[in-house]
């Protein structure tokens, strides 16, 4: 099931809640809601950068002559709105990484130090 990628122009109340949740020193005017994967809060410029890049109609060149939309399999469409009910005003940590895992584009996890040491010192 695909979801909408939503760029939200926040109201004064929403800005106050977002600043309370993310720190009073943060500059918040917009939100980028990525369906069930999470959301980010920031300035118009910050949110618009990711909104444009993650738009399912936006294509980037991954090889000479080969274009691909990074998260077209996650989002149906990109929507800009001023009226959106936000449930959680905290920015989702590592949102881009979560989207990459959900789309299957994430690189395999690097081995941990504990796992590496376990293999080195393992008894045979």
State pLDDT tens for residues 45-98.
Answer: 999 999 999 998 888 777 888 888 888 889 999 999 999 999 999 999 999 989
Give the chain's domain count. 1
Query: Hey, how many other C-beta atoms are within 10 angstroms of the C-beta on 114?
Result: 8
Query: Hey, how many other C-beta atoms are within 10 angstroms of the C-beta on 85?
Result: 7
pLDDT over 70 percentage in the chain? 92
> What pLDDT is attached to residue 29?
96
List phi, psi (to 5°) of 3.
-130, 170
Q: What is the pTM of this model?
A: 0.78
Query: How far is it, in rounded angstroms, from Cα 35 to Cα 71?
Result: 12
The single-letter DSSP state of residue 110 is P
What does the angle CA 25 – CA 31 – CA 34 come to, to the nearest 5 degrees? 135
Q: Greater confidence, 122 or 18?
A: 18
pLDDT over 90 percentage in the chain? 60
Residue 70's Cβ-count burial label (10 Å; 0-12, 13-18, 19+) is buried
Q: Which domain holds residue 93?
A: 3-120
User: Which long-range contacts does 55-63 make (Cβ < 8 Å, 24+ apart)?
Assistant: 55/5, 56/5
Report residue 78 as tokens: 């990109």
The overall average pLDDT reported for the chain is: 88
* Alpha helices (H) in the chain, listed in sequence order: 12-22, 44-54, 95-103, 113-120
Q: Greater confidence, 116 or 66?
A: 66
């Amino acid at each position: 099931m695909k979801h909408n990628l939503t760029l939200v122009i926040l109201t004064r109340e929403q800005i106050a809640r977002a600043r309370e949740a993310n720190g009073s020193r943060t500059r918040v005017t917009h939100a980028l809601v990525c369906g069930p994967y999470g959301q980010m809060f920031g300035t118009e410029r910050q949110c618009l950068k990711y909104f444009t890049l993650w738009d399912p109609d936006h294509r980037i060149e991954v090889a000479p002559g080969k274009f691909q939309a990074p998260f077209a399999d996650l989002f149906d469409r990109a929507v800009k709105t001023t009226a959106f009910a936000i449930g959680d005003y905290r920015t989702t940590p590592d949102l881009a990484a979560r989207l990459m895992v959900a789309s299957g584009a994430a690189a395999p996890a690097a081995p941990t130090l504990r796992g590496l040491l376990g293999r080195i010192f393992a008894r045979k």
